[in-house]
Structure 1
Amino acid sequence: MKRRLSLVPVAIFTIFFLLLNAYALGGLQVLAPQTYVQPIFWLVVAVIVVLMITAVIRLQSREPDQFFMLAVHAFIMFFASELLFVVVLLLNDSYRLINAGFHHFIFPPRAIVAVEIGLALFLFLFFAFLYGMLWGKYAYRVIKHTLYFDDLPKAFDGFTITQISDVHAGSFTNPNEVQKGIDLIKKQHSDLFVFTGDLVNNKAEEIKPYIGHFSQIKAKYGQFSILGNHDYGDYVKWENDLIKKGNLQQLKKYHQELGFRLLLDEHVELEKEGEKIILAGIENWGLGFGERGDLQKALINTKTDEFKVLLSHDPSHWEAQVKNNPSKIHLTLSGHTHGMQFGIELFGIKWSPVSLRYKHWAGIKEENGRILNVNRGFGFIGFSGRVGIWPEITVIELKRK
């Protein structure tokens, strides 16, 4: 498969990267003015640039391989950490400029403490990325929510649901670590298990080595699943549409082998002690990621006031069609965002770059008497790691007020 490479954006970014490094070196030399610092620094930069350019060129004629992933991750770790260092330098230089007066051309020297703080932040973020790549991506967390509803059928008071999302099996490299996540799911002993999409990155075959792992998951009221945007194979080039459609059909068969009932714009009734709730699932519907799902079809023959749980991969669907739907959907379970696999959730602070794209990107949100939960994802894609936003197993207990 031959891809066309545009050299203009590559050249522009390379120039930007080199200028950024020249500025960073100016700050670094405040602490280490020795002549050997400069050649060592530029040697490191040159190695990263050569790795990245080589990886991009190789990508024109082959699928991403281990070399490509190595180059990309080396670049991400260095570039993101250096940006933090540069931000500190810019703040210090802005202060120097203001302190000196805009009409002067001679500024006070850079504060050593500012450079030290910047370097400390560089090292912190660099090693945080390293931790996220080696251990963080398999650091599974069980997050529990107890949700209260006025109209929950009495028989379902205390009913528990375990949710995972975004497995992205093609990214896994350590089956033993994946098994630890499966064991955590099994320990929850929930009444119902649901998976909210993106079983693979692109191709159905990616889940095959892990069928034995995920097929261990069992729940009294069943295991149900939906498709996510990556499951349709839209992000790779296929020889023809027939092969692409065949890939999707094979993926649906793998859901069966996993013991998952795949809901495709449809619903089922879960019965307990003569009462019922509706569990509906739609195909992927997401702004910018394919609007395939048909919510009205999934809810056909259901009553407006029946208690409903909806599986919908992309949380933008909840904003667009669910929270104000005439048919009350009490609880929607989504995924998709991964929390961008990078962010902070400490001391009351909750932030990730993905917040710039999604109004609600992780955890519980309630509006208009409807509740949404966005799972942070079980797997990972793109960046082979997680920093601050850990892989999640959600356990939800339904309670009657």
Structure 2
Amino acid sequence: MAKRLPLILLLFIAADVYFYQAILTLSSNSMLHTAYWLLDVLLIAGFISLIFVRRTGGSAYRLIAVLMGAMLLNFIPKVFASPVLLAEDAVRLFRGFPPRSIYVSEATLALAGLLLIVIAFGLTRGRHFYRVRRETIYFPDLPEAFDGFTITQLSDVHSGSFTDAKGVQKGLDLVNAQNSDLLLFTGDLVNNMATEMEPWIAGFAGLKAAYGKYSVLGNHDYGDYIKWENNTAQQANLNRLKEVHAEMGFRLLLNEAVTINKQGQSISLIGVENWGKGGFHKYGDLKKASIHVPDNAFKILMSHDPSHWDAVTVDHHQHMHLTLSGHTHGMQFGIELFGFKWSPIRYVYKQWAGLYQQEGKYLYVNRGFGFLGLKGRIGIWPEIAVLTLKKSR
């Protein structure tokens, strides 16, 4: 992603300058022209202050959220509407570059306006615009008793970002409405501190599943992204978070496995601590977690970061039938329409949203229940995943 940042900035600048041509075509008002560029200057100044002025805690998070929202509202409509002007220029090239058409410029602004509405919806309502996504996955060696077994997966709650109790409860009610056999949570319960989850414990404790509720830790759960007085304080925070999982009725799996029994047959549920590529900590230990799991067992692995799948899971000596991850949030921004999906996060993570298969092993990457940084979701809506296991005949 960092390598592509200059290209992304160049794209934004080019779209900004190009879109301005439509403004010039439709209006000669100098105040409007000044306001157009003044907004860009203010955004740039905001990002510069974030880099060079020391900010910590909530003020930094609030500034990041405001700047991210403003950037999306300002630039994204321009980026996606400017190709209309580009198409017009392709025609003008063969016609000796006559003046721009007022109608084309109006169409460009209309498209930008529509995109602006979509982005505004995402920033104001998208954070609780929960979508239930269903997948049926077939396995030849699934125990007969588990044919049709359902799993609801949640991931990336990020409770420190929540402010709307009714909005959160709307999502929790939708989870319970699925009546799944098993409820699995794949990490990042908080942004940084266990206390962020205190107001929401009762709501999550109300989640039900006939065969239990299980969870693992994500990268944010360890408190690695804020400054603590000492290591003891950070460890105390992690210990409290582990207690919170128990208070919600979730069995937290820390590099360990449990057996799920049904009608005399069983599957193995394995949970590892966070393991991520790049600069993320590698606390997860799949070898330790699966050491007592029989080789011939049907295995479901919970691992927060999907990069663990390619790097470790696929080549693990034991066959991990299904891995459940989260972490990416789908970047909380992208397009998903009629089977097509795109988000900038795809340039960072090979597997970033939905179902993937490799060598007969499946990975499902959850788009996340909550949000972080950007105070909303645009196109990549918060997700409740319902996976149905089926035995292939």
The CA distance in 1 between the partners of 2:64 and 2:350, in whole Å, is 33
Deviation track 1:290-337 (CA, whole Å, cap 9, x = no partner) reads 222000101012122210010011111111222232211111111111
Partner secondary structure for residue 217 of structure 1: coil
What is residue 301 of structure 2 aligned with on the other side? Answer: 310
Is the 1:129–1:385 Cα contact (8 Å) retained in structure 2? no
TM-score, with structure 2 as normaliser? 0.88
Task: Select which of 269, 272, 283 maps to 1:292.
Answer: 283
What is residue 240 of structure 2 aligned with on the other side? Answer: 250
- Give the drift of 1:237: 2.0
CA RMSD of aligned residues (A): 2.7
Amino acid at match of 2:303: S
What is residue 41 of structure 1 aligned with on the other side? Answer: 36
What is residue 382 of structure 1 aligned with on the other side? Answer: 373
- Give the drift of 1:52: 5.4
What is residue 196 of structure 1 aligned with on the other side? Answer: 186
Is the 1:263–1:282 Cα contact (8 Å) retained in structure 2? yes
- Give the drift of 1:221: 1.3
1:343 aligns with 2:334: yes
What is residue 60 of structure 1 aligned with on the other side? Answer: 55
TM-score, with structure 1 as normaliser? 0.87
What is residue 263 of structure 1 aligned with on the other side? Answer: 253
1:31 aligns with 2:26: yes
Is the 1:52–1:75 Cα contact (8 Å) retained in structure 2? no
Task: Select which of 66, 69, 75 maps to 1:73.
Answer: 69
1:218 aligns with 2:214: no
Task: Select which of 378, 390, 393 maps to 1:399.
Answer: 390
Partner secondary structure for residue 29 of structure 2: coil
Amino acid at match of 1:162: T
Is the 1:267–1:281 Cα contact (8 Å) retained in structure 2? yes
Distance 1:144 1:321, change over 3 A: same
Amino acid at match of 2:30: T
The CA distance in 2 between the partners of 1:122 and 1:44, in whole Å, is 16
- Give the drift of 1:206: 1.0
Is the 1:314–1:334 Cα contact (8 Å) retained in structure 2? yes
The CA distance in 2 between the partners of 1:16 and 1:399, in whole Å, is 46
Is the 1:265–1:294 Cα contact (8 Å) retained in structure 2? yes
- Give the drift of 1:279: 0.3
Distance 1:29 1:317, change over 3 A: same
Is the 1:233–1:244 Cα contact (8 Å) retained in structure 2? yes
What is residue 116 of structure 1 aligned with on the other side? Answer: 106
- Show structure 1 runs of 5+ residues with no match: 1-8, 101-105
Is the 2:16–2:79 Cα contact (8 Å) retained in structure 1? no
What is residue 357 of structure 2 aligned with on the other side? Answer: 366
The CA distance in 2 between the partners of 1:314 and 1:68, in whole Å, is 24
Task: Select which of 112, 119, 122 maps to 1:132.
Answer: 122
Deviation track 1:63-120 (CA, whole Å, cap 9, x = no partner) reads 3364653344223321333333455556655776x658xxxxx954444454334323
Worse-matched range after superposition: 182-191 or 79-88: 79-88
Is the 1:55–1:71 Cα contact (8 Å) retained in structure 2? no
Amino acid at match of 2:116: F
Is the 1:52–1:72 Cα contact (8 Å) retained in structure 2? no
Is the 1:192–1:222 Cα contact (8 Å) retained in structure 2? yes
Distance 1:198 1:306, change over 3 A: same
Q: Give the total of aligned pairs.
A: 383
Task: Select which of 143, 164, 167 maps to 1:177.
Answer: 167
Is the 2:151–2:386 Cα contact (8 Å) retained in structure 1? yes
Worse-matched range after superposition: 299-308 or 30-39: 30-39
- Show structure 2 runs of 5+ residues with no match: none
- Give the drift of 1:202: 1.3
What is residue 272 of structure 2 aligned with on the other side? Answer: 282
Worse-matched range after superposition: 201-210 or 54-63: 54-63
The CA distance in 1 between the partners of 2:70 and 2:212, in whole Å, is 43
Worse-matched range after superposition: 51-60 or 235-244: 51-60
Amino acid at match of 1:79: F
- Give the drift of 1:378: 0.4
Is the 1:165–1:376 Cα contact (8 Å) retained in structure 2? yes
